[in-house]
Chain A
């Protein structure tokens, strides 16, 4: 299994596209800047949503309103992060894969995604019952805390990848 992954990444590394990303003077700085600045949009809005789910901020607003207002931007930000992150990975796939932090980050992302799925298929289904409550139910608070903890860890792991990669 693992050797298939490595040979695939080796193949990816040898493509012209990967070489272009690696050798271009502007590709990496521009993509990385987009990745980091989009983080402000995504993480900032995720924190605002989580604070509403915790009943700490935006308390006078309906949860459904906060969700509706923030969701389109959260989804757009997430897509930009995935796209720019994939491009950064493609520029040096073997080195990324060889760092432990990259693997940790992928597992953390998976759990953060599962958290969204669990939230939207359980407690968010009964949103009508607690939409206006400034004191939110325990399920919503747990989802918010899991989200905050995992996104902070994802940022930390992402930053650690850059430290673990060999210098350019």
Chain B
């Protein structure tokens, strides 16, 4: 455990000292600009995850199989996730040592890791399998877990600004 915290602290220090970390920190416009990209990514990612989970729960687009909708929205989900990860990394790098000790940030990172792993393994299997959702519990359970994990990421992200004052 102590090795992990040493490594994470070293990584945060390295980001903080890097040219991009300092660049974002010292610029008036870069942080707000990247944050707006992060928000736009959030909208698209949240929308695609919500619509897929609503379909798994049987609320929306019931007429077609889950896999059809998944095929349509997955490129947008992956693209917006990539935008969020890249923009989020640069926001983080501008104040990474401060983030290291922020409880909101820690919760967000753990939830994010779990959410990404879940989305690309079990959740993905639920969206491509086209089980008859009226009789199967698993697709609905996958939707609930996905919503819970991603909500935790969002709420903890929102909390970063409030708990670190």
Residues of A participating in the B interface, judged by any CB pair closer than 8 Å? 29, 32-33, 36-37, 39-48, 51, 57-61, 65, 69-70, 73, 152, 155-156, 159-160, 163
A144 to chain B, nearest CB (A): 14
Q: Is the CB of B68 within 8 A of A60?
A: yes
A61 surroundings in chain B (CB, below 8 A): 61, 64, 72
Question: Nearest Cβ distance between residue A19 and chain B, in whole angstroms?
Answer: 21
In the complex, given contacts A37-B151, A57-B73, what are 13 additional A-B residue pairs having Cβ atoms less than 8 angstroms apart? Answer: A29-B162, A32-B158, A33-B158, A36-B39, A36-B158, A39-B43, A40-B43, A40-B45, A44-B43, A44-B51, A45-B51, A58-B72, A70-B51
**B-chain residues with CB within 8 Å of residue A45 when the two chains form the complex:** 47, 50-51
Docked complex Cα distance between A60 and B69 (Å): 10
Is the beta-carbon distance between A40 and B72 smaller than 8 angstroms? Answer: no
In the bound complex, residues from chain B placing their C-beta under 8 Å from that of A59 are 72
A43: which of B35, B43, B60 is its contact (CB, 8 Å)?
Answer: B43
A100 to chain B, nearest CB (A): 14
In the complex, the answer to whether A41 meets B64 with C-beta atoms within 8 Å is: no
Q: Which residues of A contact B39 (CB under 8 A)?
A: 36, 39, 155, 159
Give the distance to chain A from B126, nearest Cβ to Cβ, in Å: 20
In the bound assembly, the distance between CA atoms of A37 and B49 in angstroms comes to 13
Interface size bucket, B side? 20 to 34
Closest CB in chain A relative to B107 CB, distance in Å: 14
Chain B neighbourhood of A51, CB < 8 A: 76
Set A37, A44, A65: member contacting B45, Cβ < 8 A:
A44
CB A149 to nearest CB in B, in angstroms, measures 12
Known: A40-B45, A44-B48. A155 touches B158 (CB 8 A): no
Cα separation A35 to B130 with both chains bound (whole Å) = 34
Contact partners of B63 in chain A: CB under 8 A: 65
| Contact between chains at A69 and B61 (CB < 8 Å) | yes
The minimal Cβ–Cβ distance linking B153 to chain A, given in whole angstroms, is: 11
Task: Select from chain A the residue with minimum beta-carbon distance to B64.
Answer: A61
- In the bound complex, what is the Cα–Cα distance between A23 and B87 (angstroms)? 33
Task: Name the distance in Å between B83's Cβ and chain A's nearest Cβ.
Answer: 12
Contact of A43 with B64 at beta-carbon distance under 8 Å, contacts A57-B73, A156-B36 already known: no
Chain B hits for A40, CB < 8 A: 42-43, 45-47, 50, 154
Q: List 6 A-B contacts (CB under 8 A).
A: A37-B151, A40-B47, A43-B44, A46-B47, A69-B60, A70-B51
CB nearest neighbor in A for B43: A43
Residues of A within 8 A of B151 (CB): 37
| A29 and B155 alpha carbons, distance in the complex (Å) | 11
Residue with the highest number of chain B CB atoms closer than 10 Å, among A42, A58, A65: A58
CA of A152 to CA of B76, assembled, Å: 16
- Enumerate B49-91 residues with CB–CB distance to A below 8 Å: 50-51, 60-61, 63-64, 68-69, 72-73, 75-76
Interchain CB contact (< 8 A) of B40 among A65, A69, A152, A163: A152
CB < 8 Å neighbour of B44 from A36, A44, A69, A70: A44
Distance of A47 Cα from B75 Cα, bound (Å): 13
Determine whether B32 belongs to the interface, using a CB cutoff of 8 Å to chain A. Answer: yes
User: Nearest Cβ in chain A — how far from B114, in angstroms?
Assistant: 19
